[in-house]
Amino acid sequence: MVVSPPSTQLTSQDSDRLKRVWETIDADSCPYTYNFHMHTICSDGQLTPLALIEQAANIGLKGMAITDHHSVRGYQAAQDWLVRITQQSEQVSLPHLWTGVEITASLEGVEVHILGYAFAPENLAIKPYLQRKSPEGENAAAKRVIASIHQAGGLAVLAHPARYRRPAQELIPLAANFDIDGVEAYYAYTNPQPWQTSPVQTKQVKQLALEYNLFTTCGTDTHGLNLLRRI
């Protein structure tokens, strides 16, 4: 079956479709079917946006997001490429690309990273977080970051919950109190080769997600040249 690629900005902002995908995510979804955490040279990654989207297509990803830090330039370049390829040939199978970003925030005094998805980049609420630098002051508060993503029509996810100075058991309830939508449950904390989610942390985060009625997502957090690894 031919999978139609995203051809307009509206499909990249389809949060309902993204929720349906997240409901199907499991330990085997990443890195060959879905990947919602990747970086390009538009922040601290090594891949150009075009190299990333081409590699994603070659891998056969069904859905994905480029989550550069405080920037959507990588997403925009990849989206333009998808539209161009689609116009050249309708008989292609390409990933569905959602808007994405990774935002540094303060959650009760702990620096965390919040992933935003399926938002409208032109929305004024999200603009302060797309300036290629970490937010400061009140803008850095996790509550405000999450609310801004929501105001822009998007979904907010706590990235790699077991990587911070306070344990996931403490941070996830705090984030849930601020109406976060999900947590990155499937994550390779020790960068194994081949990529596989860390079983202990995954079990813990999934249990907390169930307790607080949160979506669970997956991603390689790629910063290097291979989308099948973190670095």
pLDDT in tens, 120-155: 999 999 999 999 999 999 999 999 999 999 999 999
Name the domain count of the chain: 1
The pLDDT, as a whole number, for residue 9 is: 58
Does 179 reside within a domain? yes
Q: Which tokens go with 2?
A: 């031919």
Which CATH number fits the domain that encloses residue 173?
3.20.20.140
The pLDDT, as a whole number, for residue 71 is: 98
- Domain interval for residue 129: 9-218
| Cβ contacts of 202 within 8 Å, gap of 6 or more | 27, 185, 186, 187
Strands 34-35, 63-65: pairing is parallel
Regions of the chain short of the pLDDT cut 70: 1-9, 90-91
Does 229 reside within a domain? no
Does 104 reside within a domain? yes
Q: Closest by alpha carbon to 66, among 225, 229, 221, 228?
A: 221
The pLDDT, as a whole number, for residue 105 is: 98
Rounded to 5 degrees, φ, ψ at 9 are -65, -25
Angle at the Cα of 177 (from 176 to 183), degrees rounded to 5?
10
pLDDT tens digits, residue range 176-188? 999 999 999 999 9
pTM of the model as a whole:
0.95
Does 20 reside within a domain? yes
The pLDDT, as a whole number, for residue 86 is: 86
Angle at the Cα of 112 (from 129 to 208), degrees rounded to 5?
120
Does 47 reside within a domain? yes
Does 2 reside within a domain? no
The pLDDT, as a whole number, for residue 89 is: 72
SS3 24: coil
Does 152 reside within a domain? yes
C-alpha atoms less than 13 angstroms from C-alpha of 225 in its C-beta half-sphere: 0
Positive or negative CA dihedral for 206, 190, 116, 225?
Answer: negative
